Amino acid sequence: MGLPKHLFHPLQAPGTCIGEYRGIKVKLCATHDTASAVEGIPMDAPTCHPASPCHPEERSDEGSQKNLGSPYISSGTWSLLGVKSPQPITDEASMQANWSNEGGVGYTRYQKNIMGMWIVNRLRNELCPEKPWQEITAEAEQSAFEETVDANAPAFLAPKSMVEAFDAALQTKPISVGDYFRCAYRSLALSYKNAIAELEQNTNMWYDKLYIVGGGAKNGFLNRLTEEATGKTVVALPIEATALGNIKIQMKR
């Protein structure tokens, strides 16, 4: 692009002090918001096992990733689901399923970008823009609608109408606001279940906890559906994890 080379400094690790501004030390953060959010999650020591609790014969210790924490979801417009790994995981299965390896604070974030609160925000904009979220989730809980959709299908990425996208994907058309949102929340929970199953297969590990931060962590109904779908203990932390992660990095050095 013809930019001067002196603008581009060498790559350096998060926490590196790169100068001062009016007496204030300037340190590099964890590369971006999701990286900082993961660093800001107060995780317990992971409870993970190198074999499936149901079918231990299907897995072995060989190739197991000794991960540094439990799986997490940074839940916002999109959901980033992953785990902290001591090294990148670059096998064929990871590539085919669109898992990425992102540098972190001394570890790799092995994660996948999947659907998040985008679909429910779009539904709200069309169906009930003035209705509080508490009322929406209450109606979703009361609904008996049981059909689900593939939340990660291309049809839900940028439709002109999210309502029409749901109608086209379902065999039974929802008849109430609660029906649409119950379908959306249950579909999100199932997508988390599927992603965690891939994660456990690719890392050759099994986990008993799932940490959720970000805006989606405030949705108790979705958290409960996620716990039921995944079989994991959901630890929902409606905190400013990104800010906490940045502070944590600056205090380390």
pLDDT in tens, the chain (253 residues): 999 999 998 888 898 998 999 988 889 988 788 899 999 999 876 666 665 444 434 443 433 456 778 999 999 999 999 999 999 999 999 999 999 999 878 899 999 999 999 999 999 999 999 999 999 999 999 999 999 999 999 999 999 999 999 999 999 999 999 999 999 999 999 999 999 999 999 999 999 999 999 999 999 999 999 999 999 999 999 888 999 998 888 887 5
Return the pLDDT at 9.
83
Q: How many angstroms separate the CA atoms of 151 and 185, rounded?
A: 9
Return the pLDDT at 50.
65
Residues 6+ apart with CB under 8 A from 127: 163, 177, 180
Q: How many angstroms separate the CA atoms of 251 and 73, rounded?
A: 24
> Structure tokens of 93?
């299965």
Question: DSSP for 87-123?
Answer: S----HHHHHTT-EEEE-SSSEEEEEEEE-THHHHHH
The C-alpha angle with vertex 42 and arms to 38 and 44, in degrees rounded to 5, equals: 115
Residues 6+ apart with CB under 8 A from 15: 27, 28, 105, 249, 250, 252, 253
Q: How many angstroms separate the CA atoms of 47 and 113, rounded?
A: 24
How many beta carbons lie within 10 A of that of residue 204, not counting itself?
Answer: 19
Return the pLDDT at 219.
96
The residue annotated as part of the active site, out of 33, 91, 179, 208, is 33
In sequence order, the β-bridge partners of residue 100 are 111
Q: How many angstroms separate the CA atoms of 64 and 67, rounded?
A: 9
Domain 43-240: CATH superfamily, name plus number: ATPase, nucleotide binding domain (3.30.420.40)
- Phi/psi at 163 (5° precision): -60, -45
Q: What is the pTM of this model?
A: 0.88
Residues, the chain, total?
A: 253
Q: How many helices (H) and strands (E) does the chain have?
A: 8, 10
Residues 6+ apart with CB under 8 A from 106: 13
Which residue do the tokens 């965690």 mark?
A: 196
3-class SS of residue 195: helix
pLDDT digits (tens, 9 = 90+) for 110-149: 999 999 999 999 999 999 999 999 999 999 999 999 999 9
pLDDT digits (tens, 9 = 90+) for 164-180: 999 999 999 999 999 99
How far is residue 93 from each of residues 3, 66, 98, 200, 202, measured CA to CA in Å?
A: 39, 18, 9, 12, 7
- Whether 208 is catalytic: no
Beta strand 24-27 with 108-115 is: unpaired
